Amino acid sequence: METTQFFSGVAPNTKLVVVDIFEGTVSDIVTAIEWVWQNAETYHILVETNSWGITSSGLPARDASIDNAIRALIAKGIIVTVVAGNDGINVQGQTLGSPAEVDEVITVAASDFYGPQRTSYSSVGPGTANTTKPDIMAPGGTYDMEHGGSYVAADTNDVEEYGSEILNSMIPMSGTSMATPHVAGVCALMAQAIGGFSAWITNTSSLDWLNEIGAYGYTDNDETSGYPYWTNYSYNNIIKRYLLATAWETNHTASYDGNGFDDAWEGWGFVQARAAIEALLYAYNLGTIVKFSLYGGNEDRFKPHIWARRVYLEAGKTYRFKLDVPSGADFDLILFAPYGDTYGEPIVAAYSTTHTIGADEEIVYTPTVSGWYLITVKQWSGNGQFKFVAFEETTLDKYQTKIHSKAGNSHGFYVDTTETGIFLRIYHTTITGDLACGVIDYATLSYLDSENNNPAGQLDYLVYNPGSSLGASNFAFV
């Protein structure tokens, strides 16, 4: 293959195991899927991708034996991606069949190169009674240069469509069969972030937070092991949830309704590999002011559209999330629960989506369960740098407020008070690091005062007395 890596896939160091099912019967297809189940550990198979579907009388069809074989792969711990299909929107309406309609799989729609927008050929849902399909959208290419043309893929060394066979050559192709391996590659990178095959075979991740919640990889389950086929603690379930929750919505005709932000056109939106991987790797610490730029439009299609981080929230406490949106832009603030539904779909815990240019977004939320939530900032229109911060609510009449053990290297508290002054001090019996504390203006998300007045190993304190009401303020310890 290409040694200069001029043509490289999403996960170029991934090794492939090819199982041929074309020109086979339904029974042959099921046998091939079962072979993958049986040989997953032998060949280190973490992601299984499917660029095929079945039809009846020229229309997409369902087959229970195929669907159950696919569910068995998922129950085992394998991530499964499937093409939505290239049937567009036909007079019968829905254009999905097996295995695209299996609720637990990641069903992929195709976008054009420019926009990105769903292509006219990409099949649509609505899906099943349980889930909306497709789940996500990725680059699939088009059949006309006006919208970007095709993508380059490896040829099969079998039958050359255009002239005589050239060994180890490349070929231009378009379709959801191009989009789906793109998502499979992102899933492979997410699996690598978790710890790769070693994590799957030992149930021990390179990420401590996954070990703390008891996340796991391979199981001996199949579709007969009871329902549900997987749990919120399986690696493949976590990857599906984070992949979908961090997608970038491009279909603005589907409005937010509070029941979920996916639609039958593009699912949760256009895949965002960087945001999905960073959400697995990095946690947000309360009280930290984040500044980050998001972009939209064709000219900025390779720049970030989503910012996402995990954040640990405790049940029964109230938290405030504040997003300072740049003028000329519209960004959304969405908080996802630390668990998904039965089928691995993310669950929206709270959101703020004003859809007004330059309007700030705010979430006030009291969780009913403790855990690692997912906070996302999503570009809707315009470009620019946002400022974001989140705090735990408290009151000034408390003598002592405890910081939980998963707070990381900072923590912040929100108060709204008529008091005109404040004395802050952080205390711990075994101070070893160099601490600091500060007061943040909640309206502008800027520091009013800060102190780092003692060396490492000694307590820091801050006295802030502006002579007027503090109002809505935040106190941060770092």
When pLDDT is averaged across residues 12-33 and rounded to a whole number, the result is 90
When pLDDT is averaged across residues 456-467 and rounded to a whole number, the result is 58
End-to-end CA distance of the chain: 50
Strand 290-294 and strand 306-313: pairing? unpaired
When pLDDT is averaged across residues 318-340 and rounded to a whole number, the result is 95
- Integer Rg of the chain from CA: 25
When pLDDT is averaged across residues 101-125 and rounded to a whole number, the result is 86
* pLDDT for 174: 76
pLDDT at 474 over 80: no
Q: Which two tokens stand for residue 58?
A: 């020229």
Question: CB–CB of 451/477 below 8 Å?
Answer: no
Strand 384-393 and strand 136-139: pairing? unpaired
Where would I find the beta strands (DSSP E) of 301-358? 306-313, 319-324, 330-340, 346-352
pLDDT at 476 over 60: no
How many angstroms separate the CA atoms of 397 and 376, rounded? 33
Question: CB–CB of 246/308 below 8 Å?
Answer: yes
Question: CB–CB of 299/276 below 8 Å?
Answer: no
Of the ranges 98-102, 162-166, 189-193, 223-227, which is most confident?
A: 189-193
345, 281, 75, 248 alpha-carbon torsion, rounded to 10°: 30
* pLDDT for 441: 78
How many angstroms separate the CA atoms of 307 and 284, rounded? 11
The residue whose two tokens read 């993958």 is: 36
- Model confidence over 397-420: pLDDT tens digits? 554 556 665 666 667 676 666 665
Sorting pLDDT into bands at 50, 70 and 90, what band is 459? low
> Which of 225, 267, 315, 352 lies closest to 82 in space, CA to CA?
267
Q: What does pLDDT average to over the chain?
A: 82
The neighbouring-strand residues paired with 438 are: 450, 476
* pLDDT for 244: 97
User: Of the ranges 37-41, 83-87, 233-237, which one carries the lowest mean pLDDT score?
Assistant: 83-87
* pLDDT for 184: 97
How many angstroms separate the CA atoms of 361 and 294, rounded? 15
Q: Which two tokens stand for residue 439?
A: 């007061």
When pLDDT is averaged across residues 385-395 and rounded to a whole number, the result is 86
The share of the chain scoring above pLDDT 70, in percent, equals 73
When pLDDT is averaged across residues 73-77 and rounded to a whole number, the result is 93
pLDDT at 241 over 90: yes
Sorting pLDDT into bands at 50, 70 and 90, what band is 220? confident
From residue 454, alpha-carbon distances to 426, 438, 457 in Å are 12, 14, 8
Residue 316's φ and ψ, nearest 5 degrees, are 90, -15
* pLDDT for 257: 45
- Model confidence over 422-436: pLDDT tens digits? 666 666 656 566 666
pLDDT at 109 over 70: yes
pLDDT at 4 over 50: no
Q: Which two tokens stand for residue 105?
A: 């799989």
Question: CB–CB of 273/330 below 8 Å?
Answer: no
pLDDT at 258 over 50: no
Q: Contacts from 142-151 at CB under 8 Å and sequence distance 24+?
A: 142/112, 142/113, 142/174, 143/174, 147/112, 147/113, 147/114, 147/115, 147/119, 148/112, 148/113, 148/114, 149/113, 149/174, 150/174, 150/178, 151/178
* pLDDT for 259: 42
pTM of the model: 0.89
Identify which has the larger pLDDT, 87 or 417: 87
> Which of 306, 310, 305 lies closest to 282 in space, CA to CA?
310
* pLDDT for 104: 94
pLDDT at 217 over 80: yes
Question: CB–CB of 252/380 below 8 Å?
Answer: yes
Q: Which two tokens stand for residue 69?
A: 């074989």
When pLDDT is averaged across residues 361-372 and rounded to a whole number, the result is 96
- Model confidence over 438-455: pLDDT tens digits? 777 778 887 776 666 666
* pLDDT for 1: 40
Sorting pLDDT into bands at 50, 70 and 90, what band is 8? confident
> Which of 415, 403, 338 lies closest to 371 in space, CA to CA?
338
Question: CB–CB of 352/388 below 8 Å?
Answer: no
Q: Which two tokens stand for residue 65?
A: 């034996």
When pLDDT is averaged across residues 100-114 and rounded to a whole number, the result is 90
Peptide bond preceding 466 in cis form (omega within 30 of 0): no
Burial class of 212 by CB neighbour count within 10 A (0 to 12, 13 to 18, 19+): exposed
Sorting pLDDT into bands at 50, 70 and 90, what band is 354? confident
> Which of 190, 195, 178, 204 lies closest to 240 in space, CA to CA?
190
The neighbouring-strand residues paired with 280 are: none
When pLDDT is averaged across residues 147-168 and rounded to a whole number, the result is 65
The residue type of 62 is R
